[in-house]
Amino acid sequence: MSDSLFADASQRFAQALKYVQISEDAIEHLKYPKASLQVSIPVRMDDGSLRVFQGYRVRYDDTRGPGKGGVRFHPSVSMDEVQSLAFWMTFKCAALNLPFGGAKGGVALNPKELSKFELERLSRGYIEEIADFIGPDVDILAPDVYTNQMIMGWMMDQYSVIKRKISPAVVTGKPLTMGGSLGRDTATATGAFYVIEAMMPKFGRRPQETTVAIQGFGNAGAELAQLLWQAGYRVVAVSDSQGGIYAAQGLDIPSVRQFKETTRSVKAVYCEGTVCNIVDHEVITNQDLLALDVDILVPAALENQIMAENAANCRAKFIFEVANGPVSAAADAILEQKGCQVFPDILVNAGGVTVSYFEWVQNRSGLYWSLGEVNQRLRQRMVEEAEHIWKIAQELAVSMRTAAYVHAINRLAEALAAKGTRDYYVNGHH
């Protein structure tokens, strides 16, 4: 799977290069990760046996600041996948003007098979192995697929034990009591919501007349569904890894969430009696959901959901990528021909890394902000960068994705040029 991931990411980079003035040095510099680490993590299991897990951390680029990126626990984690995600993070941080470079980490395992004790030993073991490779000024970790506040807390604690000093800024997405930021757990969804709210009026769309389908009813997807529902959008379908539900007249999102939280699935979502609205709904598959005739489609699950094979079935007018890389490069071309506007992950889901940056700043200053302050700063940054990227897309007559990469590459190129490029050394430009 992930071979195509890095190829895809590189293809988008190449696509954007046609529209930027950038030195050969910068292009050469961005072709390779700065540093990659692969580690073995021995874990004593609850039954006394020993298992060794493979862990990874890649710092792709740190021209604009320390590396920043999540850690995922997933069976498909590989060096190639982690490198691709670190490459993406480099552009995401630059697109949002954060003083960070791109990094990513992961451990290959199915976390659902481990007890809480085993997960804690694994999380601490991962930090034991990579402690010299990370740090508040070097590379900062964050939650990703199947990692959460609790796991981030263990990781921060282990790093502090190793360094013999409390180091909250090495990890973001921590519990509040350990220096986490208000609004971090919902930041990805909140940021995506601000982008949707800023972009839809450009097409003359009003919430009441806009239908939405959301693939992935996890942390980001469920929260975004709630925000859209509250704002008056008609959310007609949601799905999780087990399958999805559809109701043409719109779903009652709070009831769906309540049901999902008590039973861990969105199937048969409407509970008995008066607790929630009884709405007729159809059970649909994830593939059905991607092909629904809706205004907005939000892929908020895993990468590579809309591929060359199924892109033609896609009938949405707008796609907002809340997952990382849910639409392949080949699918992009098909969607563009169909007149579907794709708003790229490196803008839409950047709320998470933006509030991670705010958390890091709060940790370093020791001054903590209210939820209102966090969201106000998040809205300002998401809307400002979305407008910038929109302007580039209009001026160059390119897709929003290419515009986002152009925006990011320009910032990276400026940072690289500040250190001196061939042009400077050979032609003596000042």
Contacts of 150 (CB under 8 A, 6+ apart): 175
Q: Among 68, 35, 73, 33, which Cα is nearest to 54's?
A: 73
Catalytic residue among 104, 165, 174, 391: 104
* Residue 18: active-site member: no
Give the C-alpha separation, 373 to 401, whole Å.
Answer: 29
**Amino acid found at 108:** A
Helix 2-17 × helix 400-417 angle, to 10°: 80
- Cα-based distances in Å from 87 to 81, 231, 266, 282, 378: 10, 34, 33, 39, 23
Helix 351-365 × helix 371-396 angle, to 10°: 130
Give CA angle at 12 (23, 29), nearest 5°: 35
Task: Please state whether beta strands 101-108 and 67-74 pair in parallel, antiparallel, or not at all (unpaired).
Answer: parallel
**Dihedral pair phi/psi, residue 333, rounded to 5°:** -65, -40
Give the C-alpha separation, 269 to 252, whole Å.
Answer: 10
Task: List the catalytic residues.
Answer: 104
